[in-house]
Structure 1
Amino acid sequence: MSVFLPLVEGSADGALLQALARIGPIIVPASQASSVQLSQRTSRYVLCDQDVSSNLDAIVSLLDQGAEKVILPLAYAKEAIGIIPADRLLLLLDVGNVSAVSDKIRNGVSGVLIKTPALDVDFVASVSRFFAHAAVHVLPAVSDAPPSPSTIRGLLAAQAVLVLPTPLLTLGASSQSQINVADAFLAPVSSDRPDGLFPTVVSSYNEGGRTLGLAYSSAESVKESIVTGKGVYQSRKHGLWRKGETSGATQDVVSIRLDCDSDSLEISVVQHGAGFCHLNRSSCFGEREIRGLAALEKTLRSRLESAPEGSYTSRLFHDPDLLRAKIMEEADELCRAETKEEVAFEAADLFYFALTRCVAAGVSIADIEQSLDRKAKKVTRRAGNAKPQWVNAPPAKENAQVPTPAPRAQKAQVDPDAPIRMRTFDLSVTSAEQRAQLLRRPVLKYAEMLQKVKPIVDDVRIRGDAALLELTAKFDRAQLTATVIRPPFAPETMQLDPDVRAAIDVAYANVYKFHAAQAEQTPLAVETMPGVVCSRFARPIARVGLYVPGGTAILPSTALMLGIPAQVAGCKEIVIATPPRQDGSISPEVMYVAQLVGASAILKAGGAQAVAALAYGTETVPKVDKIFGPGNQWVTAAKMLVQNDTDALVAIDMPAGPSEVLVIADRTCNPAFVAADLLSQAEHGVDSQVVLVAVDLSDEELSAIEAELDAQAHALPRVDIVRESIAKSNIVRVRTTEQAINFSNDYAPEHLILHLEDASAAVSLIENAGSVFVGPYSPESCGDYASGTNHTLPTNGYARQFSGVNTLSFQKHITSQEVTADGLRGLGPVVATLADCEGLQAHANAVRVRLRAL
């Protein structure tokens, strides 16, 4: 966090500017932007004068040259909003024109710099509330005396940051005319330790922020670090500790930051010598922390100094043509990689040779990151087109030592024996942004889908059966003369294998029993006050439409899960819609279930056309009041479209997305069971969402699950679907069961399976899930088919707001009230008073006319 922002005025001393750069951004007037000497990694804001403020090209140029933000007066900021990104723009205001700031301007900037004649903390606090989501900076108009530390603290408490002109700052002792930089920086810092020291996390700037260790700081050590730019700490035993003073393992301080509570510090350093740790290791937390690109850079630097003569690495360092050829070769192979594994493999090779080139030129990963950061700050973007020699050009010939590859096929053949693997992430090293990404489902572009289904829905709404027959022929490839079947259903349409019939009967009995128990048996009646009885009672939704998909699998189970609660609730009309087979028939399993649940009609249609027919009705299809059931994105988009059409007057059960499962497994799990549960969801479709949250599993334990998943997947008839869905699925490694459940609650899965040592105890901690499967012998399949619970569940994170389908989904509740004469004597005056308060005299009169009669 920034404690204060320095504003360069006049010819600021170079040592002062270097010290200020270590503790945060520096404000530089545009007129001095080219003359003030700051390092490339110094964060700077540019205060634009009138000449620059009126020139948008000049402002963009400042940002392109590395300015973190530009500060513009109100008159010119209005023109820049929408052109300059909001996070790069600060608004310069006088106290008098704060009220002239519109919502558009507030939303178009990331903060304000207010010039004020005096530091009135209450006024500043009110300004901070007005700019609730923007940073507030305060510049006193009179700046001939430095503020006290208490003033700085007061402004920070008011959610504002003081701007201090550099003439008021010094690296020497604080006086009446200047305040020491460290005194200003430490103004809000407090310690809850008896010795008054501040815990200090030391991190490596050039190793991606890797933690080197924990130290302690004092006001004296922080002052010296800011002034000298060297790592200085406070030893609890030996006093001031200048890192590397005797060992030579010195540190260059890059930045010093306070935490959000102002009671601890983070110092980012470039470490020299053996390392930070007293055991001559780079980190107190062990060398294993160095991995990936940082480890590769360290290895290459070592080999640059000591690679044996004639070794391959030595050849790369000393033969520019060979290194150039390898970089071009690996870049080409990366472009040609198909699978996830191939891309990772080829990218690793390219990184190796590219980083070798960088190390040979004295370029570090930190230098590369700085370049990336500078490019990210550019507002002006190039078109990004490739140079002519790389557009549709063959690879370089042998004189560049890059082989010419053979022409490539349109699509590489998938190796049927290739491992089927999930992606793995470790939550302990995952940033907040990466964690949020893990919680996201694929973006479903419903706006586009709504435009695609609207013509289909409108066609059925306008032309009825004629459109329905044509669309069924087009999409389901079935030539029909009629779209609706009504009972009694012909016995020959329900011919089943005896075992399948028996299984459906058991499933029907279990699901019926559980859903019958959910039905309300008696009305609710409450006497709210003497003589006033309020009641609530349930009534079935009269006409319901049940959509049973028929895409990549026959789903009689869905007909059971939707039909039984409708039957239990007492719905008068139950219309089942399902796509016909190409011969125009319906699967006998679905026909048999339709008879069991008492369906009043079967609509032989699928997709958006079936939803439209149910919503509006046709000459032969009954109009329904509510539509239930899963489906593809066409079905989902059509359901969302019709529920918002007042002409349809139809409700839907819930929004729907691809089917999903999240499995939580600890060390007590059976790897075969876990793999089977993941695959049972993955086979639904290529867009199925599958997540394994691994609780403190070792690499060996996780490998056992992956090996089982691969072996079982290759044995499945739907292996091609599984291969595609598993490749997009995630393993999330966590340390504790609590972390796993927190992640699951944030994810809000459709199905949650608990492979935990005490799975039953964990159920009380579940807040968001469609249905929970507890323990090793509760596979999702049981809930999908026959345990009794419903398998029509909220997906896409909607388990936060929606329940799965249940008996109450097919009912609505009506309230009633009965007020006696005595009850009205007590309640009537209250009602009349409230009606008068709202200016609704007829409401009040309806009560008073009765009271007068009494």
Structure 2
Amino acid sequence: MKLVKTFGRGRVAADALIESLERRGLVTTSRVEPLVRKILSAVRKSGDRALLKYATELDGLTTGERLLVSREEMKSAWDSTAPKLQAAMMVARGNILAFAEAQLPPEWNISPAAGVKTGQIVRPLGSVGCYVPGGRYPLPSTLLMTVTPAQVAGVERIVVCSPKPAKETMAAAWLAGVTEFYRVGGAQAIGALAYGTATIGRVDKIVGPGNLYVTAAKMLVSSECGIDMPAGPTEIVVTSETGKAAGIAADLVAQAEHDPEALAVFITSNEALAKAVSLEVKARAKNNTIAKQALAAQGCIFVTATVQEAHQLTNRLAPEHLSIDTSADLKWVRNAGSVFVGEYAPQSMGDYISGPNHVLPTGRAGRVRGGLSVLDFVKVITVQQYTHTGLRQLGPHAITLAEAEGLKGHAKSVQVKMK
């Protein structure tokens, strides 16, 4: 990891590095867009024929293998899963379920004037597609993280797509009660979910992480199908003054092993701690090839002049995962996907078991939204109800505003009902 001081002679280099990290949200999918557009167009035009072609060429679908993963296959996967892993999945699902239930927005109404009621009702989306990557590692946790809050929201139709789904992912699908699961991935899966084919019906919204091709496809279909967020490589920032070097380094290495392009940053004004973390990271990443690559390319340690500067820099970076020293630090946190407090809260717990979602904003999207939640699967619909008395009380004000805007029809529609 690069160790850079943000003051003194290191200031110029630090400023340039920080600016480059801030621009990471501007990284585009232009490199893969031509191919992604071609795949999406083919799926839209030719449906299953194109879907099967790309699933065979890119997802390794074998001749005669069905796109639909049957419930029997899911049950077989579950039955052949070790009891220890079954238990872990059940605990994880229970915690995700409880957290999503607590997140559900309430229905309510108020009375801003006599005879007037305003409020909101909450309704689930009709259908969603949950994308579960199937590349470097099996990700049963992502299946649970995407499917479970949709179920809590009351979504009627939930579709899972995953290329070459691992046994563990199919086992998680059985546990979650998934009934529509297709062994297809990449841009072709996103196209099928957005446009629909004879086999895979279109959905209202697509959620879940994916590679650059999946991200590009989600962005391209977002004009006619809802998406959660573009997802980039994993990010971790640890901001600490008093943490233990071993624990900080372990978190940095853990998130870095997700992807050679993962971002890992440590921020502190404690120079001695910075140097200790640097040595620990080097030792712990020694035999972890992917983490070693990520830390060499995108690993940074910033030593700031003050604690306040460390806090400001953290919010500028708006990381996906953020670790801080104590709950008192929460007061200065403004931009982050998920926050982990104290030395006994490794970020890996959030990846698997805590309950808050691990599908989180990357590329500084943490400035404008949080992670995937039950809120992504519901619509908050506003409601307004008037009695004649209420209309006569507030109506004149509406008429005044309508006339000020020159919208005579608006004014008349109120006047007619006030009589």
Task: Confirm whether residue 655 of structure 1 aligns to residue 237 of structure 2.
Answer: no
Larger radius of gyration: 1
1:352-363 counterparts in 2 under 5 A? none
Letter in 2 for 1:795: T
User: Residues 664 and 695 of structure 1 are in contact (CA less than 8 Å); yes or no, is this contact kept in structure 2?
Assistant: no
User: Residues 322 and 338 of structure 2 are in contact (CA less than 8 Å); yes or no, is this contact kept in structure 1?
Assistant: yes
User: Residues 77 and 168 of structure 2 are in contact (CA less than 8 Å); yes or no, is this contact kept in structure 1?
Assistant: no
Instruction: Determine which of 276, 279, 283 is the counterpart of 1:707.
Output: 279
Task: Confirm whether residue 562 of structure 1 aligns to residue 146 of structure 2.
Answer: yes
Aligned position for 1:38: none
Letter in 2 for 1:596: L
1:342-491 counterparts in 2 under 5 A? 422-429=1-8, 430-431=11-12, 432-441=15-24, 444-479=27-62, 481=64, 482-485=66-69, 487=71, 490-491=74-75
Deviation at 1:806, TM superposition (A): 1.0
Give identity over the alignment, percent: 40
Q: 1:687 to 1:697 in 2, by over 3 A?
A: same
Instruction: Determine which of 182, 185, 197 is the counterpart of 1:606.
Output: 185
Aligned position for 1:168: none
2: CA distance, partners of 1:703 / 1:520? 45
Question: Which string of whole-angstrom CA distances, capped at 9 and with x for unpartnered residues, describes residues 274-313 of structure 1?
Answer: xxxxxxxxxxxxxxxxxxxxxxxxxxxxxxxxxxxxxxxx
Aligned position for 1:782: 349
Q: 1:832 to 1:706 in 2, by over 3 A?
A: closer
Letter in 2 for 1:683: E
1: CA distance, partners of 2:407 / 2:305? 61
2: CA distance, partners of 1:427 / 1:440? 18
Letter in 2 for 1:446: T
Q: Unpaired segments of 5 or more residues in structure 1?
A: 1-421, 581-585
Aligned position for 1:690: 264
Aligned position for 2:300: 730
1: CA distance, partners of 2:72 / 2:112? 49
Q: Which has the higher contact order (CA 8 A, sep 6+)?
A: 2
Aligned position for 2:311: 741
Question: Which string of whole-angstrom CA distances, capped at 9 and with x for unpartnered residues, describes residues 348-370 of structure 1?
Answer: xxxxxxxxxxxxxxxxxxxxxxx
With structure 1 as the length reference, what TM-score do the two structures score? 0.47
1: CA distance, partners of 2:295 / 2:229? 26
1: CA distance, partners of 2:4 / 2:63? 51
Deviation at 1:503, TM superposition (A): 0.6
1: CA distance, partners of 2:143 / 2:90? 13
Instruction: Determine which of 261, 270, 289 is the counterpart of 1:720.
Output: 289
Aligned position for 2:166: 587
Deviation at 1:570, TM superposition (A): 0.6
1: CA distance, partners of 2:82 / 2:269? 43
2: CA distance, partners of 1:753 / 1:833? 53
Counterpart secondary structure, 2:27: coil
Instruction: Determine which of 206, 229, 239 is the counterpart of 1:627.
Output: 206
2: CA distance, partners of 1:498 / 1:470? 38
2: CA distance, partners of 1:697 / 1:530? 63
Deviation at 1:457, TM superposition (A): 0.6
User: Residues 427 and 435 of structure 1 are in contact (CA less than 8 Å); yes or no, is this contact kept in structure 2?
Assistant: no
Q: 1:439 to 1:845 in 2, by over 3 A?
A: closer
Q: 1:843 to 1:694 in 2, by over 3 A?
A: closer
Q: 1:635 to 1:438 in 2, by over 3 A?
A: closer
Deviation at 1:606, TM superposition (A): 0.8
Aligned position for 1:664: 239
Letter in 2 for 1:556: P
1:266-285 counterparts in 2 under 5 A? none
Deviation at 1:535, TM superposition (A): 1.4
Aligned position for 1:291: none
Aligned position for 1:359: none
Task: Confirm whether residue 638 of structure 1 aligns to residue 213 of structure 2.
Answer: no
Q: Unpaired segments of 5 or more residues in structure 2?
A: none
1: CA distance, partners of 2:330 / 2:259? 28
Letter in 2 for 1:594: A
2: CA distance, partners of 1:664 / 1:475? 40
Deviation at 1:443, TM superposition (A): 5.7
Deviation at 1:433, TM superposition (A): 4.3
Between structures 1 and 2, the one with greater helix share: 2
Aligned position for 2:113: 529
2: CA distance, partners of 1:741 / 1:695? 10
Counterpart secondary structure, 2:253: helix
Aligned position for 2:86: 501
Q: 1:827 to 1:634 in 2, by over 3 A?
A: same
Letter in 1 for 2:40: V
Q: 1:811 to 1:486 in 2, by over 3 A?
A: farther
Aligned position for 1:846: 413
User: Residues 469 and 480 of structure 1 are in contact (CA less than 8 Å); yes or no, is this contact kept in structure 2?
Assistant: no
Letter in 2 for 1:742: Q
1: CA distance, partners of 2:329 / 2:87? 35
Aligned position for 1:276: none
Mean Cα displacement is larger for which, 478-487 or 687-696?
A: 478-487
